[in-house]
Amino acid sequence: MKFLWGAATSSHQVEGNNKLNDWWAWEQKGKIEGGVRSGRATDHWNLFKEDLKLAKEIGLNSYRFSIEWSRIEPEEGSWSNEAIEWYGELLGECERNSLIPLVTLHHFTSPLWFAEEGGFSSPQASQKFLPFVRKVVRTLGNRIPLWCTFNEPIIFCVGQYLAGFQPPAIYSPEKCSLAFRSILKSHVKAYDLIHSENKTRKGPWRHQKLLVGYAHNMMDFMPSRDWHPLDRLLTLIAREFYNFSWLDATTGRKQRFGITGLVPFSRPVSSAGGRTTTDFIGINYYSKAILRWRPKSETYETASGLPFGISFSSNQEPISEMGWGFHPSGLGRMLRSINQYGLPIFITENGIADGQDTYRSSFLLNHLKEVAKEIDNGADIRGYFHWSLLDNFEWIKGFRPRFGLIEVDYQTFNRTIRPSAIFYKELIESHHEGHLAPSSAILKNYDSKLLKIQQK
């Protein structure tokens, strides 16, 4: 398989008018910064053909997107043929534009009916999720070579039941523990079902090996004060719990979803025990995370009930519109740490909120250099997906952060290719028209080009 040079989106962030999921309902309660609502988002629902044409124009050969569960199954047991047909058309555009699809089944949003029944904290969650997976597999699956069952399962549970930045935003360590278990159980069922029911394939990628995995967020945790024992302890706990508990659970190792004194340890999922239930590891990486016990500075984000704070940048360094510093070496460290699992790796998200497009080109180059370095050292890295293809609705932050390679005017919905997207295209084309993986030898030649861009 050729290296995948791609970009990513998610359904709720770009499609618009996803009125039947929990995020839409949460937005109506004024939970988003500034009281904004997703509304039409980027109107990808109507403009997807233009968007995929632009993706091809900037040199991409792959597109990661999610299928909105609430569109496919608006009411429990009721299926929308219109939605299924639309996602079929989206896959058709991928095929016409030679964009290998990487499809995510759950990217943070759940149908309102499912959320009202307790979401993934319900013991019946995996039984409710599986019919949706089966429907997608039976109607669309034979055209999909690459699957992510869940996007960022750890941050999803933490956001819902510990830190309060995802609906229902209830502080409940017990529900957090239940959700960890249900999502793992749902992932394993989905993994087995996709493999068992995808025997007959069709389309341009029918001969490509079927791979089922997930997109897991990882951060380069570090203590605020090296000398402080509690900062150091926090860092060790965060690395083990946040970065590695999900990886261990999906590769047949010990299941340890919990934190002593904070989150009860969930009961192991027997169907995940002693076997690997993923064909690849997808990593979403953005920045470092600096931890401090009982911080007094406003530079540290805190959440009610948690005795520590977290910062995503160091003092006086450049930051993105999300307040995150630029830390490419952390991506290299994360890749080295997951290489021990012996599975193929995809960088399923890596990007920067930068509406002025000041830093994105250097961000791309420096992170791809880390990817190239690890490939040189023997890592089996098969793709890089920049976040995001388009500016989008960035969850609790609303429309302010601009992650897109392609700028979106939210008044007219006009699209404009940013200079950094052209730079990304040049990087791709320099690697034998995108057939080669990132190469240290090739990328080092772009330092001078980048300098000229920055001087302009």
CA triple 256-259-261, angle to 5 deg: 140
Rounded-to-integer distance, Cα 249 and Cα 234, Å = 21
Q: Taking the model in full, what pTM does it have?
A: 0.97
Per-residue pLDDT, 456? 60
Of the candidates 126, 128, 131, 101, the residue with the CA atom closest to the CA atom of residue 112: 128
Per-residue pLDDT, 367? 98
Per-residue pLDDT, 455? 58
Per-residue pLDDT, 453? 64
Q: From first to last of its 456 residues, what are the pLDDT tens digits of the chain? A: 799 999 999 999 999 999 999 999 999 999 999 999 999 999 999 999 999 999 999 999 999 999 999 999 999 999 999 999 999 999 999 999 999 999 999 999 999 999 999 999 999 999 999 999 999 999 999 999 999 999 999 999 999 999 999 999 999 999 999 999 999 999 999 999 999 998 889 999 999 999 999 999 999 999 999 999 999 999 999 999 999 999 999 999 999 999 998 999 999 999 999 999 999 999 999 999 999 999 987 889 998 878 899 999 998 899 999 999 999 999 999 999 999 999 999 999 999 999 999 999 999 999 999 999 999 999 999 999 999 999 999 999 999 999 999 999 999 999 999 999 999 999 999 998 877 999 999 999 998 777 766 656
Rounded-to-integer distance, Cα 17 and Cα 77, Å = 21
Per-residue pLDDT, 15? 98
Rounded-to-integer distance, Cα 257 and Cα 181, Å = 8
Evaluate whether the domain defined by 4-215+330-455 bears CATH number 3.20.20.80. yes
Rounded-to-integer distance, Cα 369 and Cα 215, Å = 21
